Amino acid sequence: MQGIPRLTLRQLSVFVALARTGTTHAAAAETSRSQSAASSALTELEAALGVAVFDRVGRRLVLNANGRALLAPAQAVLEQAGDIQSLFQSERGAHIRIAASFTIGEYLLPDRIAAWVQAWPKSLIQARVGNTKDVIDAVADLEVDVGFVEGPQTHTEVTIHPWLDDELIIIAAPSHPLAGRVATQRELAESQWVLRELGSGTRQVADEWLLSHLPQVKVAMELGSTEAIKRVVACGSGISCLSRYAVQESLQDGRLALVRADLPKAKRRLGIVLHRRKQHGQALLDFILHCGAQIGEPGSS
């Protein structure tokens, strides 16, 4: 076996950084190496594999079919190496990248992330928030390790595992004529609605719920932020349909009021998104368990 090129963790870490950044300069900075060292690591990797893993497009490196096939296994190897190292450390130092849809990222994950970091101070959690489609795409493209979503969308590269139960409820300003009442379907159909933007999980479920029971839904505003909707509604500008998790504090302190509806309840299951072909490190699985989920058979695919 002597003289046969071998893969190294250094080569794989540079490869993953290059896949993420597209240039040797950026990958070198991300992996704390010189640009020449990053270039050498890529050359050695391609020599060891016997194939090119990037196409050169101008000054950028773009993953080709070989590189796309390598990316998930390479990330898994690096995560497993981190798990091995953590076995001999008194504190877990895992790096976990998270994407979450707005309701989850703003109202459910912060406390859980804070508790995790408090238990493992050397760990690094990077979280970003977007709509459900953005989160699923980020997991599918291996930009993050795990996603948390509130919509029923699917993707061929991911599995979605059941997490928490949620319910959409209708809210209004305390001064609104429907506040605290059981509103009829006609009253709801004649009201002005303030809803999330198209593409969000909350909007998708809200549309399915409302449009299946009301003759019409008059959408006066579409906003990309749950907090913005709560503020607009609190000012008396229409009614909205949001997650109970997102509005429970505002209902308790009186800034918003519940509108009871002559409709079936709008329940949904929040989900955890994982890449279908990627092996997941123990630190990530521990974090998911910490968030209250058992990863077994996927809820959808």
* Measured CA distances, 218 to 187, 214, 239, 243, 270 (Å): 11, 10, 10, 20, 27
Q: Give me the pLDDT at residue 299, please.
A: 43
Q: Give me the pLDDT at residue 4, please.
A: 53
C-alpha 99/C-alpha 106 separation (Å) is 11
Q: Give me the pLDDT at residue 258, please.
A: 96
C-alpha 123/C-alpha 121 separation (Å) is 6
Q: Give me the pLDDT at residue 3, please.
A: 52
Domain residue ranges of the chain, discontinuous segments joined by +: 9-86, 95-301
Q: Give me the pLDDT at residue 150, please.
A: 86
For 206-214, what is the mean pLDDT?
A: 93
Q: Give me the pLDDT at residue 293, please.
A: 86
Joined together, the tokens standing for residue 149 give 């979503």
For 1-26, what is the mean pLDDT?
A: 81
With cut-offs at 50, 70 and 90, classify the pLDDT of residue 217.
Answer: very high
| 211 exposure class (CB count in 10 Å sphere: 0-12, 13-18, 19+) | exposed
Q: Give me the pLDDT at residue 87, please.
A: 57
Q: Single out the residue of 106, 122, 108, 156 nearest to residue 273, CA to CA.
A: 156
**147 φ/ψ angles, rounded to the nearest 5 degrees:** -125, 150
Q: Single out the residue of 246, 70, 237 nearest to residue 150, CA to CA.
A: 246
Joined together, the tokens standing for residue 67 give 């590189």
Q: Give me the pLDDT at residue 270, please.
A: 94
With cut-offs at 50, 70 and 90, classify the pLDDT of residue 88.
Answer: low
Contact (Cβ atoms closer than 8 angstroms) between residue 205 and residue 266? yes
Joined together, the tokens standing for residue 134 give 């953005």
* Measured CA distances, 22 to 7, 16, 171 (Å): 21, 10, 46
Q: Which CATH class is domain 95-301?
A: alpha beta
C-alpha 187/C-alpha 197 separation (Å) is 23
Contact (Cβ atoms closer than 8 angstroms) between residue 143 and residue 97? yes
C-alpha 42/C-alpha 52 separation (Å) is 9
For 211-239, what is the mean pLDDT?
A: 94
pLDDT tens-digit readout, 140-183: 988 899 999 987 777 888 999 999 999 999 999 999 999 989 99
Say what the pTM is. Answer: 0.70
Is 1.10.10.10 the CATH number for 9-86? yes
User: How does strand 60-63 pair with strand 218-223?
Assistant: unpaired
pLDDT tens-digit readout, 229-271: 999 999 998 999 999 999 999 999 999 999 999 899 999 999 9
- Computed over every residue of the chain, the mean pLDDT equals 88
Q: Give me the pLDDT at residue 152, please.
A: 72
H-only helix segments in the chain: 9-21, 24-30, 35-49, 65-86, 102-103, 109-119, 132-140, 185-190, 201-211, 226-234, 244-252, 282-290
Answer whether residue 301 shows pLDDT above 50.
no
Percent of the chain with pLDDT over 70: 93
Answer whether residue 300 shows pLDDT above 70.
no
Q: Give me the pLDDT at residue 80, please.
A: 76
